[in-house]
Amino acid sequence: ETGVTQTPRHLVMGMTNKKSLKCEQHLGHNAMYWYKQSAKKPLELMFVYNFKEQTENNSVPSRFSPECPNSSHLFLHLHTLQPEDSALYLCASSQDRGKLNGYTFGSGTRLTVV
């Protein structure tokens, strides 16, 4: 375990379903991130939260809705997804934007949209 815990590890959902991904860290970090990792594509930064405030949204479709109730928890709410949204979703956290120690990643949630 890296200190960043993601649940569930695997998720299969239909296109009409609503589900949520959860990320939790108790490293005392103040920034949290959602990344999407698809096959043969670079890591795509989706959202950035710093001290619970969203500081970046990289043109992510509205069917992905992040929530950060406190500095330790981050959610990604999913609804009416498309098959091309199937990917590994990675959560990461960092202290002070991660300049010195980089980001600490969770193990990811493998999402399959059917």
Partner 1 sequence: GEDVEQSLFLSVREGDSSVINCTYTDSSSTYLYWYKQEPGAGLQLLTYIFSNMDMKQDQRLTVLLNKKDKHLSLRIADTQTGDSAIYFCAESTSFQKLVFGTGTRLLVSP
Positions that interact with partner 1 (CB under 8 A): 2, 4, 6, 41-43, 45, 48, 56, 90, 92, 97-108, 110
Paired sense of beta strands 10-13 and 109-113, if any: parallel
Least Å distance, CB 39 to partner 1, is 11
Question: What are the residues whose beta carbons fall under 8 Å from the beta carbon of 22, sequence distance 6 or more?
Answer: 6, 7, 73, 74, 75
Least Å distance, CB 69 to partner 1, is 22
Least Å distance, CB 87 to partner 1, is 13
